[in-house]
Amino acid sequence: MPPVTITRHETADSGEYHAHIPGTDTIGRLTWVLQRLQKGGLQERTRVAEHTLVPPEIAGQGIAAKLVEALIEDARAQGFRIVPACSYVAAAFARHPEWADLRA
């Protein structure tokens, strides 16, 4: 697997993770939007993972998995939970039961 660099691009209520591979301008993306949920009088911050997009030129190299891993890493570090609206992210949660505490 080639080295992958993940960068984060955020606004106040949405963002993207970009996966860069040396030697190509093609990037993979994981997009999300912020959602605030009320739970028992408390407001919980969540990110709705909407889409994971890996163009055919860079597919088959574990790019989508690296994007989801970056989202999970940030959720642990920043204290948010994830709504896996994207089918790939939902499947990744199913493969990783140790992430269950991060699922909203």
**pLDDT digits 0-9 by tens, 68-78:** 999 999 999 99
Which pLDDT band holds residue 41 (cuts at 50, 70, 90)? low
pTM of the model: 0.91
DSSP string, the chain: ----EEEEEE-SSEEEEEEE-TT---EEEEEEEEEEEEETTEEEEEEEEEEEE--GGGTTSSHHHHHHHHHHHHHHHHT-EEEE-SHHHHHHHHH-GGGGGGB-
- List beta partners, residue 44: 37
Q: Name the fold adopted by 5-102.
A: Aminopeptidase (3.40.630)
The domain limits of the chain are 5-102
Q: Give per-residue pLDDT as tens, 63-104.
A: 999 999 999 999 999 999 999 999 999 999 999 999 999 998
Which pLDDT band holds residue 36 (cuts at 50, 70, 90)? confident
CA 100/CA 92 separation, integer angstroms: 11
CA 8/CA 70 separation, integer angstroms: 9
Average pLDDT for the chain: 93
CA 32/CA 23 separation, integer angstroms: 27
